[in-house]
Structure 1
Amino acid sequence: MKHKIAVIGGDARYLEMIRQLQTNKDIVLIGYDQLDQSYAGAKRTDLKNIDVTEFDAIILPVRGVGKEGELEAVFSEKDIKLPAEWFKQLKSGTLIFSGIAGSTLKEACQSAGVDLITLMDRDDVAIYNSIPTAEGVLIMAMENTDFTIHGSNVTVSGYGRVGKTVARMFKALGAHVTVAARTTAERARINEMGYRSVDFAELPVAASSADLLINTVPAHVIDKGVICELPAHSIILDIASKPGGTDFEYASQRGIKAILAKSLPGVVAPRTSGKILADVIKEVLEEKKKGANI
């Protein structure tokens, strides 16, 4: 028996996700009226024309929904909104997939008694996505510098799922990599991997010799104390979730180029990113089918 899924809105990475899911899923697309009629063989319709009680899963855009229920649909000229009342029409057991979820979406799902799966909070998605993210950072670094990565001094703020991949990739290209981490265990692993490790309290010292400063921490860690130590030619690439962890105003005052990179996996490799999302969604649906705890 096929799962019946509604994909409501989304961006370029959702095209590959839909193609991957359609093999053994019954897919309905909402917010895709600008696509060719024959795309993926999936049915395209409007929100008002569906019976929401039929669906086993609803896939929302990576960014979730806004405060008024609005959502991103880059393949439609129509505005789409999902008010809290809409969620209450869903049948019990429906899964809601979203990349991230703000308070509006969380409260709507909780009130409706349906399960919310925030894909970008999952370790598997984050680890897989760290690869196109790191490649995107590398592209940005090469586009915005007048020196080679090989032999340059790269400081990475944070040694989480993305920080690990970024540090490894830049080291593989011959950069001298320093990584700031909070715990002694993380710093021990950083040293074992052949990087230089520092505590966040030492980040200003590490920044003083950095050609590139890459922030992966979604907290205000690249502050005035760090930025004032950066050489004039340094570039900050902030890949933490919006609004990032950099004092962009102070960086501008100092003449330091600071870039907030948004949704790199979807920009750099939408096809790969779409497959990652599809694989995880299929796995979650199969786990539910088997009665596993998701």
Structure 2
Amino acid sequence: MLTGLHIVIMGGDARQIEVIRKLSELGAKISLIGYEQLDHSFTGAVKEKIDEINWQEIDAIILPVAGTSLDGEIDTIFSNEHIRIDENKISKTPPHCTIYSGITNTYLTKITQKAGRKLELIFDRNDVAIYNSIPTVEGIIMLVIQNTDFTIHGSKTVVLGFGRNGMTISRVFHGLGAKLKVGVRNAEHIARIEEMGLDSFHLNDLEEFVKDADIVINTIPHLVVTANVISKMPHHTLIIDIASKPGGTDFRYAEKRGIKAILTPSLPGIVAPKTAGQILANVLVELLHDDLLKRKGNVK
């Protein structure tokens, strides 16, 4: 139970609805910022303006999975208002207040550190990333079907990166009959790819391996699909980049060459917001409950 906790949920997308539902069911008091257009109502959850919050009473702040922009702006699909979080607001919270976000950037890291508050990154957890890889790969399949005139079965597919998403994507596309090649740098990843019966190559050789690619799926959050790489691709190649913004693809050059390149860093929230929201909600409940127990232990 989370009775007694006062939590601020700021902005977000449809995934946050499942978070609100779960936390309210467990007795938390919730202040919703950026939810004026939300039709749902939840016991214990109140829509408020950011200037109406008494920050001194707040035990936790839950940001969207994308965190903030580099100037503190927070995206929300439930409001047309501009919402911004800054160091001044965070500094007014009690010392035990934790800020939860999917990912961070230099701005968010800086203001939480200056305020002396704990920043918990949900997407740094292996369990969340692995669970999220399931709706992610389903979304990729949907995009491939929508944007090609050939089947995945038999397609020459290149997956870049073999982390928690890359591994799931590679396994599923291989299972669908794609002629799959996985590009990585890490020797350990190469060993695992080979153990799984898949074909690997070193990213230094990427230009050679995209010459006949039908589909290129990038999971690496650094520029790897460069202009030189894109110049070697056939015109029909479809690039799907799921790395966090700005992705790992030179989108401007892809457009110039007439190659379709799609940046989709939040596929779980697009294709399966209910499931993705439940994943977030379950982890947040665990983290909030642990923090509550720690505080009670300190009080004793």
The one of 191, 196, 199 aligned to 1:196 = 199
Does structure 1 conserve the Cα–Cα contact (< 8 Å) formed by 2:161 and 2:183?
yes
The one of 99, 103, 107 aligned to 2:110 = 107
Paired residue for 1:75? Answer: 78
The one of 9, 12, 22 aligned to 2:11 = 9
The one of 238, 249, 252 aligned to 1:249 = 252
- Partner deviation per Cα, 1:61-105 (whole Å, 9 max, x = no partner): 222223443212221232222232111100011010112222222
Structure 2 distance, partners of 1:126, 1:91, is 30
Paired residue for 2:145? Answer: 142
Does structure 1 conserve the Cα–Cα contact (< 8 Å) formed by 2:184 and 2:200?
yes
CA drift at 1:39: 4.1
The one of 117, 126, 138 aligned to 2:129 = 126
Q: Look up the SS of the partner of 1:6 in the other structure.
A: strand
Does structure 2 conserve the Cα–Cα contact (< 8 Å) formed by 1:64 and 1:99?
yes
List alignment gaps of at least 5 residues for structure 1: none
CA drift at 1:237: 1.0
Runs of 4+ in structure 1 over 4 Å off: none
The TM-score with structure 2 as length reference comes to 0.91
| Greater mean deviation of Cα atoms: 61-70 or 237-246 | 61-70
CA drift at 1:232: 2.5
RMSD: 1.8
Paired residue for 1:210? Answer: 213
The one of 32, 35, 38 aligned to 1:32 = 35
List alignment gaps of at least 5 residues for structure 2: 296-300
Q: How has the CA–CA distance of structure 1 residues 185 and 38 changed in structure 2, closer, same or farther, with 3 Å as cutoff?
A: closer
Q: Look up the SS of the partner of 1:22 in the other structure.
A: helix
Letter in 2 for 1:19: R
| Greater mean deviation of Cα atoms: 134-143 or 72-81 | 72-81
Is 1:179 equivalent to 2:182 in the alignment?
Answer: yes
Letter in 1 for 2:239: I
Paired residue for 2:231? Answer: 228
| Greater mean deviation of Cα atoms: 140-149 or 219-228 | 219-228
Q: How has the CA–CA distance of structure 1 residues 37 and 123 changed in structure 2, closer, same or farther, with 3 Å as cutoff?
A: closer
Letter in 2 for 1:164: M
Q: Look up the SS of the partner of 1:291 in the other structure.
A: helix
Letter in 2 for 1:43: V
Structure 2 distance, partners of 1:178, 1:207, is 10
Q: How has the CA–CA distance of structure 1 residues 40 and 74 changed in structure 2, closer, same or farther, with 3 Å as cutoff?
A: farther
Letter in 2 for 1:4: H
- Partner deviation per Cα, 1:30-65 (whole Å, 9 max, x = no partner): 221222363455222222222212221111122222
Q: How has the CA–CA distance of structure 1 residues 72 and 175 changed in structure 2, closer, same or farther, with 3 Å as cutoff?
A: same
Paired residue for 2:170? Answer: 167
Q: How has the CA–CA distance of structure 1 residues 9 and 253 changed in structure 2, closer, same or farther, with 3 Å as cutoff?
A: closer
Structure 1 distance, partners of 2:255, 2:73, is 33
The one of 59, 62, 69 aligned to 1:59 = 62
Structure 2 distance, partners of 1:95, 1:231, is 49
Structure 1 distance, partners of 2:41, 2:282, is 23
Paired residue for 1:23? Answer: 25
Structure 2 distance, partners of 1:114, 1:137, is 36
Paired residue for 2:275? Answer: 272
CA drift at 1:291: 3.1
Q: How many corresponding residue pairs? A: 292
Q: Report the identity percentage.
A: 47
Q: Look up the SS of the partner of 1:156 in the other structure.
A: strand
Paired residue for 2:298? Answer: none
Q: How has the CA–CA distance of structure 1 residues 79 and 165 changed in structure 2, closer, same or farther, with 3 Å as cutoff?
A: same
